[in-house]
Structure 1
């Protein structure tokens, strides 16, 4: 096939195409038609450009609105978190107040019951006193207990007042307040050649041994053996 088409002397290597060439009027008409189509295409392209510009402006507006909406969404989320935190705090406070109110109600009910019991007890005691009967044994025991507690409190108050007075006197005399027990500062000589008058120890005061500690219970007491002579 290649050799046939490469041979210039071969008359059958070319193939005539059918058809005919258009005439000049037909060519002019075709050119005019193409110009009209070109103008239509340009108009359509211009419309597409205008539509693209309009869509671009709308897209820019939508993008701006979306960015603004994102910022507003962030602010709204922060505000929502703050409100949720406030709601949680208020809920906890309400629960605490509800629990406290329940405790107060229980205390009020208890106090009301005690008041009713006291009123009933007062009525019973008044009735027995009007009839000349002795008081119940529980009432007498309770009264003795109250008297004993008052006596203990009064003795404790007197002891505190006395201790405070002693401390004030020691401070006024230039002494030092201390909770330690006082050591003997004088002694009475036991001698036939001296009078039984108190004498100060001076710098050689006797040593007072401390109380045995609790660890002494682990030691066995020594057994004293009799001395054999």
Structure 2
């Protein structure tokens, strides 16, 4: 069985080899296809002219390149001192920044100290005000205690006020009411002597109270003629 499989494989290989050989021979026998380009080839003189033109362009480009290189050299020579100045200014800027930071720290420290001093000052002022208030209260307490002369003067003034407030009527009665007139002086009498009113004494109305604002004054009616 192994010999049969081996012979079968050899047969297949020979078959594939023969097919490849046939295809190769067919390709060799076929004509090569190509596409013909239209136009004409330039002559030798034309080619020489084109080469000369290209050389001129190359020389122009080289000259332009040299000019640009010269410009670059000049710019670098001019920019070198400016670059040095920039570097120096950078160093100066760093120094200034350090000094500015130091000044800022000093300012913050000073502000903190000032805040502490103001707080202490406010506390001291509050203590002074409280002490002044206590001193005033003690002075008032001392001044409010009356002595013997003040007590005597107070009693005398009280008695005088009581005497002024109390009025004695003709019948001997004391009252705080305002005295009413019980006599009048006639106008036609040649002798201006007071005469008693008798039973028909004039009525003295009292002062109007706060409820008078609720009372409307009556409108007078027109009189008939």
Task: Specify the structure having the higher radius of gyration (Cα).
Answer: 2
- TM-score bracket, shorter-length normalisation: 0.3 to 0.5
- Report the TM-score when normalising by structure 1: 0.42
- Report the TM-score when normalising by structure 2: 0.42
